[in-house]
Amino acid sequence: MIQIKELRSGLSIFKALSSEIRIEILELLTKYDCLNLNEIAEKLGLTNGAITMHIKKLEESGLIDITTAVGRHGIQKICYLNEEMLTVDLRNKSTENINVYEVEIKVGHYCDYYAEATCGLATKDSIVGEFDNPRYFADPQHINAGIVWLTKGYLEYRIPNYLKSNQRLRELQFIMELGSEAPTYNDDYPSDLIFSVNGVDLGVWTSPGDFGRERGTYNPKWWPPHLNQYGLLKLLRINENGTFIDGCLISKLTIADIQLKQNADIKFKIGVSESGRVGGLTIYGQSFGNYKQDLIARVIYDVAERT
């Protein structure tokens, strides 16, 4: 993730994003994962010379990376997205006393669950147990799962709390690849997913579908093509201003409402809302979907001066 904490430090990125052609190049790399210059030019209906400057601007900004490979027609330049997410902090606050720690937890390493069929989980090597049998959610192999899906229910994860007595929780962030859960798959299958921390329901985000028309970038070769393939990467933030998904306010509940105690773990739960559109939940880890990551939890805190 590229995080711009001060607006002036992001000038090269803002300039790179000011061109419609460069936006189209980024959209292509999002869709196809990697392309060479000839492929990009062909898809945009432009010459190689016309896109060279745009590619250079994107590379200089850090938005894309370029490697070389030997092809049938000589050396080719292959373009990739350098990062999957870009965030901008518009509030230019001093970061002198702000600190952060981050943990990545396998999507199958939940501490509590409830699941109704259709449901299941799989490691990068095989299905755990059998399809649509919630009993296998308790199988010891669940901690190694790289994908988990359920029609009704929830998954709860325990996040370690390393904060000391002179440290104050400022913000929680959770980054995860999510989708709905339909029999086989259905790109238009809304599902209201509810998030909570330490028993406090923070808000709802609607997953638009259970995506499967294209194969997930990191899915193992044995994963059946008729099943769900990938989700959407979402950033959930809880701070003093409210609760946000990808920068959009979903509730006015703040970090103070969680009332995290000094020695208490942080329990993060995501489930299918019982009162909304029940379209299920799928969560993807680094062995499945389009993003090579599991559930990332980030704790941002202030350090008080000792007297």
* Digit-coded pLDDT (tens) for 217-271: 999 999 999 999 999 999 999 999 999 998 889 999 999 999 888 788 999 999 9
* CATH, residue 66: 1.10.10.10
Q: What is the mean pLDDT of residues 188-213?
A: 96
Same domain, 133 and 242: yes
Total number of domains in the chain: 2
Domain-embedded: residue 112: yes
Same domain, 202 and 294: yes
* CATH, residue 225: 2.60.120.260
Same domain, 204 and 282: yes
The whole model's pTM is what? 0.75
Read off the pLDDT band of 92 (50, 70, 90): low
Same domain, 178 and 291: yes
Three-state DSSP class for residue 43? helix
Q: What was the pLDDT predicted at 14?
A: 87
Domain-embedded: residue 132: yes
Same domain, 142 and 279: yes
Domain-embedded: residue 192: yes
> What interhelical angle do 37-44 and 20-32 show, nearest 10?
120
Domain-embedded: residue 141: yes
Same domain, 294 and 233: yes
> 48 or 113: which carries more pLDDT confidence?
113
Q: What is the mean pLDDT of residues 168-173?
A: 94
Measured CA distances, 141 to 12, 85, 155, 173 (Å): 46, 31, 16, 27
Q: What was the pLDDT predicted at 95?
A: 47
Domain-embedded: residue 86: no
Q: Where are the beta strands (DSSP E) in the chain?
A: 2-4, 34-36, 64-71, 74-81, 86-88, 98-105, 112-122, 147-159, 167-179, 191-197, 200-207, 232-239, 242-245, 248-251, 266-272, 281-284, 295-303
The percent of residues above 70 in pLDDT, for the chain, comes to 93
Read off the pLDDT band of 93 (50, 70, 90): low
Domain-embedded: residue 171: yes
Same domain, 36 and 107: no
CA pair distance 129, 31, nearest whole angstrom: 33
User: What is the overall mean pLDDT for the chain?
Assistant: 90
Q: What was the pLDDT predicted at 6?
A: 67
Q: What is the mean pLDDT of residues 27-32?
A: 88
Same domain, 8 and 154: no
Same domain, 70 and 121: no
Domain-embedded: residue 297: yes
Q: What was the pLDDT predicted at 85?
A: 77
Same domain, 32 and 134: no
46-55, 113-122, 174-183: least confidently modelled range: 46-55
Structural domain ending residue among the three candidates 35, 58, 81: 81
Same domain, 148 and 55: no
Same domain, 274 and 298: yes
| Ordered alpha helix ranges (H), the chain | 11-16, 20-32, 37-44, 48-61, 255-258
Please report, as a single letter, which amino acid is at residue 119: C
Domain-embedded: residue 35: yes
Domain enclosing residue 53, as ranges: 2-81
Q: What is the mean pLDDT of residues 119-123?
A: 97
